[in-house]
Amino acid sequence: MNGLATRYAEVSAGAEDRLTPAERSVVRKELAELAALDLQDTAVSSLEVMRAVAAAVPERLYGDSGDVLRRMHEIAGFGNHQSCLSSLPTVRACFELGLVAGTGGTPPPADLIVGRGHIAPSFYAERYVRGELPFLPLTTLHRGGMTGVVHRDWGFENTMRYSLGVGLAQAVSRAQELAGRGDDRKVVCLAGDGELHEGVTFECIRYAHDTGLDNLVLVVDANDRGIEPLLKPLNRDYLRAYFPTVAEVDGTDAASVRKALAGLLEAPGRAVLVCRTRKGEHSFKLPAAPPRAPSFAATTGRMLADVPTASGRPPVVFTADMANRFGLRGHVPYHNTGLAETLSVGLTLALPEDDLKVVATDAMYYMDSLSMLTEAATGVRNLMVLAGRNWAAWGGSPNAFNLLSLLTETRVYEPVTEAEFHACARRLAAEPGTVHVLSMVDARFTPPAADCAQAVDDGVWINDPGTDDADTAVVTFGYATTLVEEANARLRLPHLHCAALNPLFSRPVLERLRRFRRVVSVEYNGSHGGFGSWLRSRYLLPVTVHGVEKDIDNCVHDEQLRRHGMSPAQLAALLRSVRTEAGESRAAARS
């Protein structure tokens, strides 16, 4: 069995209890065919390999891509099912027009850029019913096999790390490059009406107009929803000001979309095709899922409502379409800026100094607004940034929190208890000139038993070393504390929790830490330039860093923890080996 087959067997096994008997039977046949392939050529893409498997097992379980989409999300247990469904007729039209690479023997009549990057599953579903994909990879969506966002390995011309606004920039770049070398092909960019709230999309549309690009066709899925319902429908007059042609069609009818898009590709000039569609709730949930306690992030609204403010007025809250994620409704008033996170920060710039300003959005999206955050850090007082953190948050050196901590007058925290959240709020009130970034974790977890709110810049002992002569201690940042506390339940190694990404240790804590020959830092974060690096460089501690060294895999959370060596069982094994090594070193020193 080759390595790819081994990996897919492992990942698909995690979904086996959600497969029907017919699906299980087909997946086993496909796994056998995948295992038999000679995959010595490392340049062969995932899509090419899966095409070979699909040809060997031509049986199709479903003939309608809508049914395939539903099954993919039922098996995964989460995802953007409704977004994919609202764009599915447009995707079908793109296949029928030959715009999707690999669907025919002739070159595509235009270049397709999928700006609405998270609708990649719609393309997978269409490829499946057309015989280009086996069922096997569809069972691995969001589980470490098939990517949920467009990627070149899966037949797309473009790759995205996330899907807001970047696609239109890629499309304008491609259109300009084609025009510059005299190629008369057009570029089709699929986007969403929520995505058009992004600052980069406004800049792209203005640039295409001002430079006279006449080879760009923008296709907009207008479903009147972003993550949450949009404040107003798509502004057609705005589009008409920058595009010579703006056509509109029933986006739920693939034939109508195909006919309109074909006409725009044939006609001269830049154009927009608005596809009127419908969309339900943004995130897919299994209908029979038992009720669960809210995530820690979802309690933010209730906690914010209890924060005293210097002005005596409620916090002024701006959110990039994420009121539900942070549980704001019914607890605090807020302003929804759509998906414009840069504007969310910008709206805080001239508010009264003593007002508490709160900007609530996703940790990843701040990568688009670092310049505005730098501006806010130098001129805004009483600013709290709530950086929502889920299993799609980046790891490695470009981790959002590592970068945010480098901004002037900025501190980054990851509270894991309500008391710790309020301690961060009190710190902001005491130091209003410093932007306080709070990483709000979407995961559900049991808070630490220790009082973690006593010093949010210092460390709090979860397991106090006392007078123990242990050689090794473990130090954790934020959410990682809850994972290590479970892993360390039997070992009882001295364990220090930090809420701050860059802790400022008091003398007693630092003196205790310096007694240990080895300190292991555990962070569910980017390990390069992050928490452990800070402990090493500032305090010269003998730190061994255990964290995420690359981008965090976008898959279900339990699987993600396992892939990055962060599950409690893996952490327990790590701590046992560290303790054993320390004991052997001590014995060797004595001998």
Q: What is the pTM of this model?
A: 0.87
Instruction: Decide: 517 and 471 in contact? Cβ < 8 Å.
Output: yes
The pLDDT value recorded for residue 238 is 95
The pLDDT value recorded for residue 107 is 84
Closest CA to 353 of 309, 304, 385: 309
What's the gap between Cα 88 and its chain centre?
Answer: 22
pLDDT in tens, 384-400: 999 988 766 666 666 88
The pLDDT value recorded for residue 305 is 96
Instruction: Decide: 387 and 425 in contact? Cβ < 8 Å.
Output: no
Contacts of 272 (CB under 8 A, 6+ apart): 217, 218, 219, 220, 239, 243, 245, 246, 247
Residue given tokens 């470490």 in the structure block = 144
| Partners of residue 491 on adjacent β-strands | none
Rounded-to-5 percentages of helix, strand, coil across the chain = 40, 15, 45
Closest CA to 222 of 241, 239, 199: 239
The Cα–Cα gap between 493 and 490 comes to 9
3-class SS of residue 560: helix
- As a dihedral over the C-alpha atoms of residue 473, residue 476, residue 481, residue 483, rounded to 10 degrees, the angle is -80
Quote the radius of gyration of the chain (alpha carbons, Å).
Answer: 26
The Cα–Cα gap between 119 and 103 comes to 18
The pLDDT value recorded for residue 449 is 82
**Which class for 162: exposed (0-12), middle (13-18), buried (19 or more C-beta within 10 A)?**
middle
The pLDDT value recorded for residue 404 is 86
Residue 286: CB atoms within 10 Å: 12
The pLDDT value recorded for residue 389 is 86
Q: Per residue in 119-150, is it b (16+ CB within 10 Å) or e — as a string?
A: bbbbbbbbbbbeebbbbbbbbbbbbbbbbbbb
pLDDT in tens, 333-358: 999 998 888 899 999 999 999 999 99
Residue given tokens 């309109």 in the structure block = 260
The Cα–Cα gap between 89 and 167 comes to 19
Q: Which helix (H) or strand (E) holds 246?
A: strand 245-250
Closest CA to 363 of 403, 304, 407, 324: 403
The Cα–Cα gap between 236 and 63 comes to 36
* Intervals of the chain under pLDDT 70: 1, 41-44, 103-105, 162-163, 288-292, 391-398, 467-469, 582-591
Using DSSP bridges, classify how beta strands 435-441 and 383-389 pair: parallel, antiparallel or unpaired.
parallel
Residue 239: CB atoms within 10 Å: 18
Using DSSP bridges, classify how beta strands 216-222 and 186-192 pair: parallel, antiparallel or unpaired.
parallel
Reported as half-sphere exposure (CB side, CA atoms, 13 A), residue 143 has a value of 23
The Cα–Cα gap between 560 and 400 comes to 18
